[in-house]
Amino acid sequence: MRRLEGEVAIVTGATSGLGREIARVFALEGASVVVSGLDAARGAAVTEGIVSEGGAAAFVSADLAVEGDCTALVRQTVERYGGVTVLVNNAVAVASDGPVGKADAAAWVAAYRVNLLAPALLCREVIPHMLEAGHGSIVNISSRAAERGTPNYAAYTASKGGLNALAYSISVDYGREGVRCNTVQPGYVLNPERDAGVSTERMARLRAMHLTRMTTAVDVAMAALFLASRESEVITGEVLHVDSGSTAVRAASLG
């Protein structure tokens, strides 16, 4: 049996990058997947690719900065597939917002709405359906920025820290009822398009920060798959670092 056979999963920010790979892996492991994002053309391409590999997927357009879109995303999922048992909060707003002393309110609000408020709203909407099903798994995709500051990304860093804390609250509130929430926290993830512009010297420095090989989108997707599946039924409220040991390297270098 495939690891997500019979599950219904929503993956936000699934039209590219990590979300696209997570949606693909989940579908191949038996889940009916709702691919969510803003770009309809890219969403259609992702779903068509999944279907061509034998998976079940549908695209639902949603602007997660809008509360009504969060509600509609879950409603349309339930209407199509009869419920929802897995949610992956992957969509993200990343912007250089400056240090705390200079970042304006608009930057804080923009990061908060997509990176923290939207996941909270989606959790609010899916949890009743998970309770009805008798089980559910929420996987938040965070960032190592949540645990170590990044210059000029104050709002982004704080919002990711809040996302980690959200998992703790959901675990305490709903763990006894079969609904779990965990966090995957990637470090630097290889991206062929972005990395094409990275100098040889910088790439060498990046590789030196890692104890194993560099992390790929597939690695992150497989970690999310484990946390979404029944294989991790006794795991909730955890932060799983998927960073090739770079957190350990940094800790060692700081003594």
Domain boundaries, the chain: 8-191+216-244
Distances (CA, A) of 254 to 80, 187, 249: 51, 18, 9
Catalytic residue flag (residue 153): no
pLDDT at residue 205, as a whole number: 78
* Angle CA 253–203–144, to nearest 5: 50
Q: Give the pLDDT confidence score for residue 254 in this predicted structure.
A: 44
Helix extents (H) in the chain: 17-28, 40-52, 67-81, 105-112, 118-133, 154-174, 192-195, 200-208, 217-228, 246-253
Query: Quick one: pLDDT at residue 250?
Result: 63
- List Cβ neighbours of 212 (8 Å cut-off, separation of 6 or more): 244, 245
- Enumerate the β-bridge partners of residue 30: none
Position 217 scores a pLDDT of 94
State the Cα–Cα distance between residues 79 and 98, nearest whole angstrom: 42
Per annotation, catalytic residue among 81, 153, 156, 174: 156
Kindly list the averaged pLDDT for each block of 10 residues, start to end, along the chain of length 255: 95 97 98 97 98 98 97 98 98 82 88 96 98 98 85 89 96 98 91 77 79 89 98 97 81 48
Residue 48 CB: number of other CB atoms within 10 A?
A: 12
The domain 8-191+216-244: what is its CATH number? Answer: 3.40.50.720
Q: What are phi and psi of 120, to 5 degrees?
A: -65, -40
